[in-house]
Amino acid sequence: MWTKATQLRLKEHRTPEIEEADLTSLVLEMSKWGVDDVNDLTWLTPPPKGSIALAGELLHQLEALENGQITKHGKVIHQLPCHPRLAHMLIMAKKEGLSALACDVAALLEERDPLNKEAGIDINLRIEALRRYRKGDLKNKKLIRIAKNAQQYRKMLDIKEDNGSVDSYETGLVLVFAYPERIAHAIPGNNAQFKLANGKIASTNHHDDLAHVEWLSIANLNARDGVGKIFLASPLNPQDLAPMVKSVKTVSWDTKRGGFNASVDVKIGSIILQSKPLRNFNQELKIEAISNAIKKEGAWLLDFNKEVEQWQNRVNSLKHWNPDQNWPDVSTRYLLDTNSEWLTPYLTEIRRPEDLKKIDLKTVLQHHLDFDLQKMLEDWAPEKIKVPSGSNIYLKYQPNGQAPVLAVRLQEIFGLIDTPKVNNGKVNLIIHLLSPGFKPVQITNDLNSFWNNAYFEVRKELKSRYPKHHWPDNPIEAAALRGVKRNKK
């Protein structure tokens, strides 16, 4: 029972759950079965490739998978009836003697927040409330189910409940086990913003008790494309992060800063703790950094000028006209994504962004074609065509394989009977006939028909506009003019 307006806004079908759900458990289950490729199974709705990739990445991070195969640790995770994140957390917390705390945290994360928004983002306040509820010091109906879930986890791990005081740093460590990519470090400045190990930014209310803590372990946030909002978190002792700190040699390209940035970074994920300049580095790392920047930042880094665009259109036209021939994909996006295959030899001397603009892309791309295709390109899709006046005039090729355009002054093709062709004589040019002032006066792909029919009307108009120019009665036998031949007085 709903209105007609509501009916018109309804989707034809509900979105299948598999297209929106977290597929981490599914990927772990498949690995346990020995299924390496999701396409080996039959699906009513195939799972999204991106979701499968993200699930696999997380499982590798949790050490449940190694090189795509399930590990011993992964098999233990698989046995626990909860999300792999929580299962990993419970297993790791047991090794640290924090099982009771981990059970409380797991139970809280699986249910809705038992406290109101005014309580702030500190998950430790929820743990304290849960423990007070179990001792009979607090009445809160929202905690009934959470307490039962925590009890089930304790039974599963064969441990006793703990209703003692909470060490917030221990809670932070437990959360790190479940959400290693959500380790967060305060961004300098009074903005209550944090950079996460996964490279994203998240913030909380300036008045929150945790707003100005240096390190956070985030349990729940709204991960928007811009700045996410933190809902649940715990303070974190940076000393507990020592096993996660790595020293990484980084060679990157920063266009805004003028080129290369080579450094030795001490970091946790994307959080850089210390950085020192790297003086000597492998040339291959440098080329890889430029190549990655080109893929990421796009065509504006290189000189994709009109000549390059026409070269691409020429190749694409031949690819369109001759699908049985081995013409490569030379679309801009594909060239950017595969630049390491054709551009690498020309990147060795690059130092600054302006150096990239100096690369002659047309020549580079032409030489990347094999010799037979280079010759065929010049013969079957020439850049220029010689007209009867002796002028070599550029053709304009189209990106979609439509016939190329020859824009030429009418007087320069006197004596040319048949329409010029490309693609080994199979495709007529579209001729844009121009006045002496280079204004278009006629378009044709049948020059012979034009001379016999439309020319005389065009001649009449042009003769009135350009009376001092020569307009012969028989253009087929007249001499073509490159310059200006005036009528004799």
- CA 254/CA 251 separation, integer angstroms: 10
- CA 232/CA 204 separation, integer angstroms: 10
Q: Mind spelling out the 3-state secondary structure of 30-59?
A: HHHHCCCCHHHCCCCCCCCHHHHHHHHHHH
- CA 169/CA 12 separation, integer angstroms: 49
| Of residues 15 and 397, more confidently modeled | 397
Mean pLDDT of the chain: 91
Q: Quick one: tokens of 341? A: 């295959």
Report the interhelical angle of 72-79 vs 84-95 (nearest 10°).
110
Which residues touch 450 (CB under 8 Å, ≥6 apart)?
431, 433, 442, 444
Look at residue 189 in the predicted model and tell me its pLDDT: 82
The model's pTM is 0.67
* 285, pLDDT greater than 90: no
* 485, pLDDT greater than 80: no
Cβ neighbourhood burial of 72 (10 Å; 0-12, 13-18, 19+)? exposed
* 367, pLDDT greater than 90: yes
Look at residue 425 in the predicted model and tell me its pLDDT: 94
Please report which confidence band the pLDDT of residue 279 belongs to, taking 50, 70 and 90 as the band edges. Answer: confident
* 489, pLDDT greater than 50: no
* 357, pLDDT greater than 70: yes
* 487, pLDDT greater than 70: no
Look at residue 350 in the predicted model and tell me its pLDDT: 85
Inter-residue contact 448 to 460 (CB < 8 Å): no
Look at residue 8 in the predicted model and tell me its pLDDT: 84
Give me the residue label for tokens 């498949």. Answer: 30
* 280, pLDDT greater than 80: no
Q: Quick one: tokens of 452? A: 């016999």
What does the pLDDT average to over 77-82?
95
> Rounded to 5 degrees, what angle do the CA atoms 282, 366, 353 make?
45
What does the pLDDT average to over 346-365?
90
Cα Rg of the chain (Å, integer): 35
Q: Quick one: tokens of 59? A: 């499982």
* 488, pLDDT greater than 60: no
What does the pLDDT average to over 406-413?
94
The pLDDT > 70 percentage for the chain reads: 98
What does the pLDDT average to over 226-232?
91
